[in-house]
Amino acid sequence: MISGVFIGNVQRLAIAQGAKIINITDIPTYSVPSGSNSQGGYGDYANYETQYNRWTPNDFSTGGGPRLEASNPNIIGGGHAVWNDNIDLHETGLTSFDIFKRFFKSMQSTAERTWGSDRAAKTYADRIQPTSVYAPRSNPEKTIEDSDLFTIKPETIKEYLAKNVKKTEAGLNFEKDSSIEGLVGDVGPSHVLKLDVTVTGDGEQVFSTSGDNQLYLADKDGYLAYKFEQFHIQFDKKLEKNKRYQISVVTKPQKTEVYVDGEKKLSVLQIQLTLAWLTIAWYFHLKQSVASKESCIVQSCQMKHL
């Protein structure tokens, strides 16, 4: 079985020797994610418009090859490829969802052109999109409804599934085994998490967690930080004990911004390497809100749309 890039009449020679071919011609079906939002040959996104308009499993002309008869029994299908080559060269900051977006855009064209329906739109621009491109009851973008937003503070704590959270004059007192469960869970970009918080203990402070993903008021090095997938991002701020802070964590496509008392904080890596690129997009993880190992006082915790 042969797939991938073919030049000239290689396909004909391969077929003559009995090869079965899956057409994954590099142009237009290859995507090499970089975060640049470029589109085209070996771009951040594949050229899925060209794929729809000019490509079929039997047509290799976009890569300099022939157009074979559609009934050729050796042509068994077509596809597209996502090549994460850039991770060998530099950190792109792309998450698994970012890779999914690039795969999904090409998948739509691949699916329609391999189906071969005579009822399909003639061009990509003429396609009629459904109300939602995703399957029912799926939510890969982690969007949330207004009803899932929340404001946790002493006056509202009774509305949540709180465990060992003490209501005091100073605020909500979280200890080592304190938690609030049943919140919205993973939340995608274009949201803001606002914290009014005072760290009252020493050591590592994990404010919220979902699986292995965590938001730290203080990580093992004492920095305000978060961990998401393979990333551990530290920001240039160490919260002082017994001092009250207003913290905002803002997620946007392909970047996350952190503000402490209104001042934007760069990541430690940006400062050390004088990098211009921003930190990765992060998903809020709030299935549990936990003060781990030591303690903190939370005056309020609010999730909002950006």
> pLDDT tens digits for 164-219?
889 988 999 988 788 888 787 677 888 899 999 999 888 898 888 877 888 999 99
Taking the C-alpha atoms of residue 112 and residue 121, their distance in angstroms, rounded to an integer, is: 9
Indicate whether 280 pLDDT > 50: no
- The dihedral built from the CA positions of residue 148, 149, 153 and 154, taken in this order, carries a sign that is negative
Least reliable range by pLDDT among 128-132, 219-223, 235-239: 128-132
Looking at the chain, the whole-number percentage of residues with pLDDT higher than 70 is 88
61-69 average pLDDT score:
86
Q: How confident is the model at residue 244 (pLDDT cuts 50, 70, 90)?
A: very high
Indicate whether 284 pLDDT > 80: no
**What is the pTM assigned to this prediction?**
0.81
Looking at the chain, the whole-number percentage of residues with pLDDT higher than 90 is 38
Phi, psi of 16 (to 5 degrees): -60, -25
Q: How confident is the model at residue 4 (pLDDT cuts 50, 70, 90)?
A: low
Q: How confident is the model at residue 277 (pLDDT cuts 50, 70, 90)?
A: very low
Model confidence over 108-118: pLDDT tens digits? 999 999 998 88
Q: How confident is the model at residue 55 (pLDDT cuts 50, 70, 90)?
A: very high
End-to-end CA distance of the chain: 49
149-173 average pLDDT score:
90
Indicate whether 7 pLDDT > 60: no
